[in-house]
Amino acid sequence: MAKRRLKFTFPPELVTEPVIYYLGHDFNVASNIRRADITEERGWVVLEVEGRDEDIEQGITWVIAKGVGVEAVEG
């Protein structure tokens, strides 16, 4: 199992969408929210994700295609 720490940045139109839920449900990726700041206008979440490399990569590709910004976080 691979583990990564990522920061998701949500545009206003996606703040209320269950993107993290579908990431776990559809791509078999476990997530652990480490830090977050969500308002009605914007949002960001630092996640630890765990799963098979292929599943994580497919999930990240899907999240980016939805319009969420994704960047790796060190530490």
The helix/strand/coil state of 13 is helix
pLDDT in tens, 10-20: 999 999 999 99
pTM exceeding 0.75? yes
Give the chain's domains with CATH numbers: 2-72 (3.30.70.260)
pLDDT band, very low/low/confident/very high, at 71 (cuts 50, 70, 90) = very high
In angstroms, the CA 48 to CA 34 distance is: 7
pLDDT in tens, 29-59: 999 999 999 998 899 999 999 999 999 999 9
In angstroms, the CA 20 to CA 70 distance is: 12
Asked whether 5 and 46 are in contact (CB, 8 A), the reply is yes
pLDDT score at 40:
87
